[in-house]
Amino acid sequence: MIAIRSISVGFTTLIWVAILTLGLPATPAYAQESPADRVPRAMKKFIEAKEIPGYVTLVYQQRPIKQSSPAGRTFAASAGLADLEENVPMTSDTLFGIMSMTKPITATALMMLVDEGKISIDDPVEKHIPAFANAKLENGEPVRGLKVRHLLTHTSGLSGKQDCFESLEVTANVLAARPFKFQPGSKWEYGPSMNVVGRIIEVVSGQPYEKFLRERIFEPLAMTDTTFHLTDKLRERMAVLYKLSKNGKFLVRGERWIDTGAPDSVPNPSGGLFSTAGDMQRFYQMILNGGELDGNRIVSEKSVGEMTTVQTGDLTTGFTPGNGWGLGWSIVRRPEGVTGMLSPGTFGHGGAYGTQGWIDPVKGRIFVLLIQRADLGNSDGSDIRKKFQQAAVDGLATESP
């Protein structure tokens, strides 16, 4: 044993003395952990604190991090319970209500029609839905210059709940009659604009919105578990929605509002889809690849670029600092706080039940977080999202050359 003669020797020196004399590893074991190790440890704390009953996560690294790493690595994890009362475990194929993660899928469907020359994002909305020709502001002034792009960027002036009514046609007409809060393009406010986009997809394509998504996106991408309507078999795999009890000490069942999954429910373009981590990975991989996956071209690279580029100028948008808005997608303009570990230009969308899906095009990464909490408030800014992403990024960093 080497004697330490000076009590003033630095802490780092003491560590290295121990390493050299005792044969300890120079790098702590945890520093070598991948996302498969770090993410479950980070998420376990939220289960133990009874903030969530369980989770499914997925991290995808498109490009090799180092020469010895294969391309296209996926790190998936699940833990806890999908149903506390029935003691049903979370698994990789558990279904979740993804709520507003539906919006980028709706935007992608619209841009497919742009690719086909059937519509322009600068078309007046009234060209496709005549009822909007009579739209008015809250003070009675006529709405001027409402374009499809305003719907896609939440700068339309439409506000309020995102429910659908008897059909998307009826929904669009009801929204056209609802007073607008401001002139299109002057401000950003999250609201039901994407429900109008869903109706435009029907008008322009000549197909029901749900059928268009199924035939043009879900089936070509083999997203076999993504749907607006739940069969009895699918309900067996559904994660139950929970919220905190009044005293905040345990979880109780919450109530679904947009995404009921009932056979007669109107497919909601703003937030009605159910999906799995694996299905969402395939959709996000397609977008990360510039609109193509496994030889199937879904949307053009140009349209992907437009969707994932800030279209809102200097307007304040979104639910986290440094945010911008593309066409149906939220964009990290300046990483900070909950997005501090992501690259500038990362894009994605969250959902009201705490679900999150983000793509970092600079690093070639996908982050999918699936939970079901009804009362998280600003789920985009949740600590659950932050700790998941940080654990994933830290794990990927340990694999760097």
Q: What is the pLDDT of residue 72?
A: 86
In this predicted structure, the answer to whether residue 401 has a pLDDT above a threshold of 70 is: no
Give the largest CA-CA distance in the chain. 87
Cβ atoms of 298 and 286 closer than 8 Å: yes
Q: How many CA atoms lie within 13 A of 66 on its CB side?
A: 7
- 94 vs 11, more confident: 94
CA distance 302 to 323: 22
What percent of the chain is predicted at pLDDT more than 90? 87
Mean pLDDT of 191-212: 98
pLDDT digits (tens, 9 = 90+) for 304-359: 999 999 999 999 999 999 999 999 999 999 999 999 999 999 999 999 999 999 99
pLDDT digits (tens, 9 = 90+) for 291-303: 999 999 999 999 9
**Structure tokens that stand for 225 in this block:** 């578990």
DSSP H stretches of helix in 74-230: 102-115, 148-152, 168-177, 193-205, 209-213
Q: Is the pTM of this model over 0.75?
A: yes
Q: What is the pLDDT of residue 172?
A: 98
In this predicted structure, the answer to whether residue 16 has a pLDDT above a threshold of 60 is: no
pLDDT digits (tens, 9 = 90+) for 58-73: 999 997 655 555 668 9
Q: Which residues 6+ apart lie within 8 Å of 240 measured at CB?
A: 53, 82, 83, 84, 85, 253, 372
Edge to edge, the sheet with strand 73-83 lists 88-89, 73-83, 54-61, 365-370, 356-360, 347-350, 330-332, 323-325
E strand or H helix at 11: helix 11-22
- pLDDT category at 30 given cuts 50, 70, 90 is low
Cβ atoms of 138 and 181 closer than 8 Å: yes
CA distance 106 to 115: 15
Chain-centre distance for alpha carbon 91: 19
Q: What is the pLDDT of residue 63?
A: 76
What percent of the chain is predicted at pLDDT more than 70? 90
How high is the mean pLDDT of the chain? 92
